[in-house]
Structure 1
Amino acid sequence: MSIQVKSFMKNPVITCTLPEDVGNVRDLMTQKGIHAIPLVDVEDNGRVTIRGIVTSDDLVGVYDDTVDIQQVMTQKVHVVNPQSNAQSAAKMMIRHNTHHLVAMEDGKIVGMVSSLDFVELIAEQKI
């Protein structure tokens, strides 16, 4: 039996639109208890263009809250289809040395998967 990404991805996904500063993103991450936020542009039709992602690791050592988040974000964001299986998503994370994948469908962010989500799958013995 193959587990699909959609069965364990986290949603809804908190996003930020650009421009934004480090302080606001850090505050949002703290308030929501999350460790990564995709930075996006949203078109009038609701379709999303991902411009980057910022993680709590990106913010370590950034003490000036007025810094533009684009200066610390990672521009390359790896996207997975929610119907993909967990094994292919895990392999993508390993291949790209990343801890977060954004799940997109029809031009919209529908979820996010982190390396911790895979640990939870194993702990719950779902794989």
Structure 2
Amino acid sequence: MHIRRYESLLCRHDSPSVARLRQLLEYLGGRGRLVGQDASEGDGLYGWLTPDEAEELISCAAGLDLPIMPADFDEMASYFARWRGAETSPDGHDFDQLSLRFIINVAILANKQSMGILWGNDFLDPMKFT
């Protein structure tokens, strides 16, 4: 995950909470870079947020122009399926806004369980090794 993807969206909102949101997204996208990414440059652990940081991410994103959808993985998949292949989402948001909404929703789901977030790509399924 590259924070640059969200720069145009975040630059429209110049506030201390957006500056902190930018920092939290950088943690999520790069804190684990040396720990978990393999030679493919795209797989492995990217970063993490503690439970407190996940909660802070939610509050820092308040007021951004993002799609509205329930924090539910099935709802998110359904929304993405309706968006796929179009330039904008069903309600006029672009992919970066949709992507950031998904990150916020993951933070909401983690927060409901008093958990942090571990963010990566193409992790191996641990059930295959039990």
Same fold, judged at TM 0.5 (above): no
Which one has a larger percent helix, Structure 1 or Structure 2? 2
TM-score, length-scaled by structure 1:
0.29
Which one has a larger percent strand, Structure 1 or Structure 2? 1
TM-score, length-scaled by structure 2:
0.29
